[in-house]
Amino acid sequence: MIEANANIDPLVIGGKRLQSRFFLGTGRFPSPAVLQLALEASKAEVVTFAVRRVNLDDAREDSILQHMQERELTYLPNTSGANNADEAVRIARLARAAGLGTWIKVEISANPRTLLPDPLETLRATERLAAEGFVVLPYTSDDPVLCKRLEEAGAAAVMPGGAPIGSGLGILNPYNIGLIAQESRVPIIVDAGIGSAGDVVQAMELGADGILVNTPVAKALDPVGMAQAMRLAVEAGRLSYLSGRIPRRQYASASSEAEGVSKPALSLDTDNNGNSARDVKLDAAIAAQGENAAREAAVALASDIRQHAAEAADAGKELGGIG
């Protein structure tokens, strides 16, 4: 079901058709061997890494990239460490010249403590790089207006953060993420802040087209197991989103509809206000004759109820003997 769904619901970015909606970062893993196992478990087709950590003189011999050459992967180098648009553009050009392709994740932090993206510099870098033919995926805040501006600037996909990078806080503002996904005409890849597979499902059910994670996999007690869990969460969340959840209701709603259900063989009548006959009689007796008369009426009604119950039981036995 999931594989068939991926064939009819592919993720397309920059003209490239992807079967996996799970993007994986390559930093902070315990070892290259664990990274390889996690990558295999994730089934990710797009991997990201900081250009400043790559040996651009010979990318093929880089300590990270040399372990990925046998896989059919799309590289998404990022401009982590850039402080402004000029630096981000320079880094992107260096990555392309080193043979790392034309995909680039624009990442410009405004504050070294929070690592939150600089909105103005990110927008400027996106405009310039898109004009130069790059497939630009800018990392940004969960601001619906800014995400729309980045789309208009030429971004091939937009990557709003669910929470600060590496925080594991999950989706802090689900309303904004849902609104961004609803209004965007380009893919929305939620990036940063994810802490668990549950966060992944939530983001996908909000309408995100994909997820990018690094720390929650690399720093998990079992990175390989977490990579698999998050891959399944992406698939489950996407399928749930496409299938359509039921609307939220303030009150309970019975799973069995009242229409078409047989009425009891015998029942007490009710008035227009839904009051039973015994309640009506009792209220009338109290109003007309006082407490003693009401007591007598209650005794009589109790006798009637027992009689009704006995008749109903007999009717049930007769129905049970049919056939």
Angstrom distance (rounded) from CA 81 to CA 77? 12
Asked if residue 154 belongs to a known ligand binding site, the reply is no
Angstrom distance (rounded) from CA 91 to CA 45? 23
Please give the helix or strand (H or E) that residue 105 lies within, else none: strand 103-106
Angstrom distance (rounded) from CA 47 to CA 233? 18
Asked if residue 193 belongs to a known ligand binding site, the reply is yes
Catalytic residue selected from 16, 43, 105, 317: 105
Asked if residue 192 belongs to a known ligand binding site, the reply is yes
DSSP letters spanning 248-262 = P-SS---SS-STTPP
For this structure, is 148 an active site residue? no
Q: On the CB side of 67, how many CA atoms lie within 13 Å of its CA?
A: 15
Angstrom distance (rounded) from CA 38 to CA 169? 22
Using alpha carbons, list the distances in angstroms from residue 157 to 76, 162, 253, 287: 12, 16, 40, 74
Torsions phi, psi for 24 (to 5 deg): -125, 135
Contact 81, 50 (CB under 8 A): yes
Residues identified as active-site: 105
Binding-site annotation, residues for 1-deoxy-D-xylulose 5-phosphate: 166, 192-193, 214-215
Binding-site annotation, residues: 166, 192-193, 214-215
